[in-house]
Copies of this chain bind each other. A is one copy, B any other.
Amino acid sequence: MSGNSFGTLFTITTFGESHGPALGVVIDGVPPGLELSEADIQKELDRRRPGQSAVSTARNEADKAEILSGVFEGRTTGTALAILIRNTDQHSKDYTALAHTFRPGHADFGYTAKYGVRDYRGGGRSSGRETAARVAAGAVAKKFLAALGIGTRACAQEIAGIVSPMTSWEEVEKNPVRAMDPDAAKKMEEAVLSAREKGDSCGGIVYGEITGVPAGLGEPVFDKLDALLAHAMLSLGAVKGIEFGDGFDAARQRGSTHNDAFLGNGKWSGNRSGGILGGISNGNVITFRLAVKPTPSISLPQQTVDDEGRPVTLSITGRHDPCIVPRLVPVVEAMAALVIADCLLRQKALR
C-alpha cells in the first residue's frame, strides 16, 4: 500500500487532490448500529473548512459531505462507509507559474523525485486540503467514542511565540485562533495578520488531549499507543515534532521526579507520563503537544530552482493560511479519535 490508508481495524482510505474534482474517504470497520447523519460530519468539516475567518485562507469551499454508503435508515451497517466532498472553488490557473518550479518548504521536489510526474495545482495530493477527508472520517470516530465517554480535544497553545495560558476549553471555539485564553488569542490573531501583511507566515504549538480512555489501550512493541498517535500526527505535513506528557522536559528529570505515583484504579499522583506508560494507556488523560512549522507558502521572495535546475526567485501569491495552527486543531482531534477508535476495536478483538 502506498500510504493512503491508516488504521488496522478502524481503517480509513482517503483520496483526492487540492484541485481535482473531489476528496473523499472510505472507512472500513465502523461498528454497525451507530446513529450517523451527514450533519454529524458537516459539523466537524465546518470547523476545518477554508475561508472561515480572517486568519485562514480565502479559498471558499463549502466542504459539503455526502455519505455514499454504509449507512441505512440513519444507522451504520458495518460495511464500508464512504464520504464524498466535492471541490468547488479551484483556481487552478494560480498555479500555472509553479508547474516547473519547486517551492521551498513544500514537497514539490520530493514528489517529482518520487513519481516523475506531479499535479502542481495547489500541491495536488500533498495539499493540506487532503485533511478534509480525515476530518470527515474523524467525525465518525468521534461519534463512536462519544457513546463510550471518550473525547478528543485540541487547541492552539502557542502561535508566533505567543503562549496562551491554559485557562478554559470553553473559550477555544470562540476565537478564530482556537486558544484557551481570550487575551492571548487576540495577540495571536494580530501576530498572524501582521505576518500575512508582511508576506510572511508563522508557526505554533497545538496542545491535544484525549479524555475518558480506559487503561489497557495500545499494543505492546511496535503499535504502542504513543507510537500510533505520533504516526497519526506526524502524517500532517506541517507537524515537525510531538511530545507526550512532560516530553522533552522529561529528558532532564530524574526517575524519582518523573515517575507518577500510582494510586490504584487508573488514578495517578500526576501526569508527567501523559497517560501512556510502556505504550499502553494507564487510565490518565492522554496529553501531547505538536510543533507546527510556519506555512511554507509566503509572498516574500525566496530562492529556488526550476525543473531544469535554473535559479528562480519565487514570490507565492495564491490563497494560503498565514498560520495553519487554528485549522489544524480539528484535524488533530480527528486523527486522535481515529487512533483511539482503532485501538478500542483491537482491544475488543483481544478479549
Contact = CB atoms under 8 A, between A and B. Distances in A.
A35 to B, nearest CB: 11
A141 to B, nearest CB: 15
Interface stretch (A53-61, A166-174, A260-268): A260-268
A147 interface: no
Contacts of A158: 251-252
A13 interface: yes
B214 A113 contact: yes
Nearest to A307: B264
Interface in A224-273: 224, 226-235, 237, 240-256, 258-266, 269, 273
A16 interface: yes
Contact of A33 (B82, B104, B116, B281): B116
Q: Which of A23, A124, A221 has the most CB of B within 10 A?
A: A221
A283 B112 CA distance: 12
B350 A293 contact: no
* A-B residue pairs, 7 tightest by C-beta: A107-B278, A3-B219, A110-B280, A241-B243, A3-B223, A113-B216, A201-B255
Interface in A283-319: 283, 291-298, 300, 302-305, 309, 311
A42 interface: no
